[in-house]
Chains A and B, each alone.
Chain A
Amino acid sequence: MAECVGVDSNTSGHSMDKSITLPPDEIFRNLENAKRFAIDIGGSLTKLAYYSTVQHKVAKVRSFDTTAKEAPNDKLYEISVQEEVTARLHFIKFENAYIETCLDFIKDHLVNTETKVIKATGGGAHKFKELIEKKLGLNVDKEDEMTCLIKGCNFVLKNIPHEAFVYARHADSEFRFQTANPDIFPYLLVNIGSGVSIVKVESEDQFERIGGSSIGGGTFWGLGALLTKTKRFDELLQLASKGQHTNVDMLVKDIYGGSYGCLGLTGDLIASSFGKSATADKEFSKEDMAKSLLHMISNDIGQLACLYAKLHNLSRVYFGGFFIRGHPVTMHTITYSINFFTKGEVQALFLRHEGYLGAIGAFLKGAEEDNPNQYSWGENYAGSSGLMSVSPDMNPMQRARSGTFPFDMLEMDRLERQLVNLPLLQDPSSYIPDTVDLTEDALARDYWLYCFEDALDGVVKRAVASQPDIPEAVVRAEKFRQKYRHKLLTLRHQPFAYGSLTVRSLLDTREHCLNEFNFPDPYSKIKQRENDMALKHYQRTVESLDALSWEDRQFALVSGVLAGNVFDWGAKAVSDVLESDPGFGFEQAKRQLEERPWLVDTYDQWLQRLKGPAHKCALFFVDNSGVDIILGVMPFVRELLSRGTEVVLASNSGPALNDVTNGELQILTERIAAMDPVLQAGLQEDRLTLVQSGSSSPCLDLSRLDKVLAMVVRERQTDLVIIEGMGRAIHTNYYATLSCESLKMAVIKNSWLADRLGGKLFSVVFKYEVPLGKVHHNGATLMLS
Chain B
Amino acid sequence: MDIGGTLVKLVYFEPVDITAEEEQEEVENLKSIRRYLTSNVAYGKTGVRDVHLELRNMTMCGRTGNLHFIRFPTQAMPRFIQMGRDKNFSSLHTTLCATGGGAYKFENEFRMMADLELLKLDELDCLIRGLLFVDRMGFNGHPECYYFQNPSDTQSCVKKPCTLDNPFPMLLVNIGSGVSILAVYSENNYKRVTGTSLGGGTFLGLCCLLTGCETFEEALEMASKGDSTNVDKLVKDIYGGDYERFGLQGSAVASSFGHMMSKEKRDSISKEDLARATLVTITNNIGSIARMCAVNERIERVVFVGNFLRINTVSTKLLAYAMDFWSKGQLRALFLEHEGYFGAVGALMELLKPTDDL
A contact set with B: CB distance below 8 Å: 1-3, 6-8, 10-11, 13, 123, 144, 146-147, 193-195, 197, 209, 211, 213-219, 221-223, 225-227, 231, 248-250, 252, 254-258, 260, 262-263, 270-279, 284, 289, 296, 299-300, 303-304, 307-308, 310-311, 341
Contacts and interface: CB of A to CB of B under 8 A. Distances in A.
B206 A223 contact: yes
A276 B205 contact: yes
B38 interface: no
7 A-B pairs with the lowest CB-CB distances in the bound complex, closest first: A222-B260, A255-B101, A274-B205, A272-B201, A218-B255, A275-B201, A222-B257
Contacts of B235: 1-3
Contacts of B293: 307
A307 to B, nearest CB: 4
Given A7-B261, A222-B258, A300-B285, A260 B101 contact: yes
A218 B245 CA distance: 22
Contacts of A250: 5, 177-178, 201
B254 A279 contact: no
Contacts of A252: 101
Contact of B253 (A214, A255, A260): A214
A40 to B, nearest CB: 15
B289 interface: yes
B178 A272 contact: yes
Contacts of B105: 255-257
A361 to B, nearest CB: 14
A279 B6 contact: yes
Q: Is the interface of B mostly helix, strand, loop or mixed?
A: helix
Given A2-B235, A273-B201, A278-B208, A254 B5 contact: yes
B224 to A, nearest CB: 18
B238 A123 contact: yes
Interface residues of B, number: 67
Interface in B19-59: none
Interface stretch (B129-137, B146-154, B192-200, B350-358): B192-200
B31 to A, nearest CB: 34
12 contacts: A3-B235, A8-B261, A13-B263, A218-B255, A218-B258, A226-B274, A255-B4, A272-B178, A273-B205, A274-B209, A275-B177, A300-B198
A222 B6 contact: no
B257 A223 contact: yes
Contact of A226 (B122, B177, B210, B258): B210
Contacts of A311: 292, 295-296
Given A250-B177, A257-B105, A262 B255 contact: no
A307 B289 CA distance: 8
B75 interface: yes
Contacts of B274: 226
Given A219-B257, A311-B296, 14 more contacts: A3-B255, A194-B254, A195-B255, A211-B288, A215-B198, A218-B257, A219-B258, A227-B209, A250-B5, A252-B101, A255-B177, A257-B106, A272-B177, A304-B288
A11 B262 CA distance: 5
Contacts of A284: 209
A303 B196 contact: yes
Given A255-B177, A279-B73, A274 B201 contact: yes
A214 B101 contact: no
B215 to A, nearest CB: 10
A293 to B, nearest CB: 9
A130 B135 CA distance: 64
A261 to B, nearest CB: 9
B296 to A, nearest CB: 6
B15 to A, nearest CB: 32
A223 B202 CA distance: 13
Contacts of B209: 227, 274, 277, 284, 289
B201 A2 contact: no
Contact of B202 (A144, A214, A272, A303): A272
B101 A226 contact: no
B83 interface: no
Contact of A195 (B6, B202, B254, B263): B254
B263 A222 contact: no
Contacts of B248: 1-2, 209
Contacts of B202: 272-275, 296
B312 interface: no
Contacts of B206: 223, 274, 277
B102 interface: yes
B266 A300 contact: no
Given A250-B201, A275-B6, A278-B208, A256 B255 contact: no
A227 B207 CA distance: 10
A227 B205 CA distance: 11
Interface string B78-109: 00000000000000000000001110111100
A255 B233 contact: no
A108 to B, nearest CB: 34
A147 B245 contact: yes
Given A255-B105, A276-B205, A303-B289, A226 B257 contact: yes
B123 to A, nearest CB: 9
Contact of B205 (A256, A277, A341): A277
Contacts of B245: 144, 146-147
A11 B4 CA distance: 41
Nearest to B238: A3
B319 interface: no
A2 B240 CA distance: 13
Interface string B303-329: 000000000000000000000000000
B6 A2 contact: no
Contacts of A279: 6, 73-75
B255 A194 contact: yes
B142 to A, nearest CB: 32
Contacts of A276: 205
Contacts of A221: 257, 260-261
Given A263-B192, A271-B5, A278 B201 contact: yes
Interface in B204-250: 204-210, 231-233, 235, 238-239, 243, 245-246, 248
A340 to B, nearest CB: 10
B104 A257 contact: yes
Contacts of B174: none
A257 B101 contact: yes
Contacts of B285: 213, 215, 300
A272 B295 CA distance: 25
B202 to A, nearest CB: 5
A218 B256 contact: yes
Nearest to B235: A2
Contact of A272 (B199, B233, B254): B199
Kindly name the residue among A7, A211, A223, A248 whose own CB sees the greatest number of chain B CB atoms within 10 A.
Answer: A223
Contacts of B199: 272-273
Nearest to A311: B296
A120 to B, nearest CB: 15
Contacts of B261: 7-8, 11, 194, 218, 221-222, 225
B64 interface: no
B252 interface: yes
Contact of A299 (B197, B208, B296): B197
Given A123-B238, A277-B209, A300-B285, A10 B262 contact: yes
A278 to B, nearest CB: 4
Contacts of B198: 215, 273, 296, 300
A685 to B, nearest CB: 59
A252 B195 CA distance: 12
A490 to B, nearest CB: 33
A256 B73 contact: no
B95 to A, nearest CB: 21
A214 B210 contact: no
Contacts of A258: 104
Contact of A255 (B102, B124, B196): B102
B125 to A, nearest CB: 9
A388 B281 CA distance: 34
Contacts of B201: 250, 271-275, 278
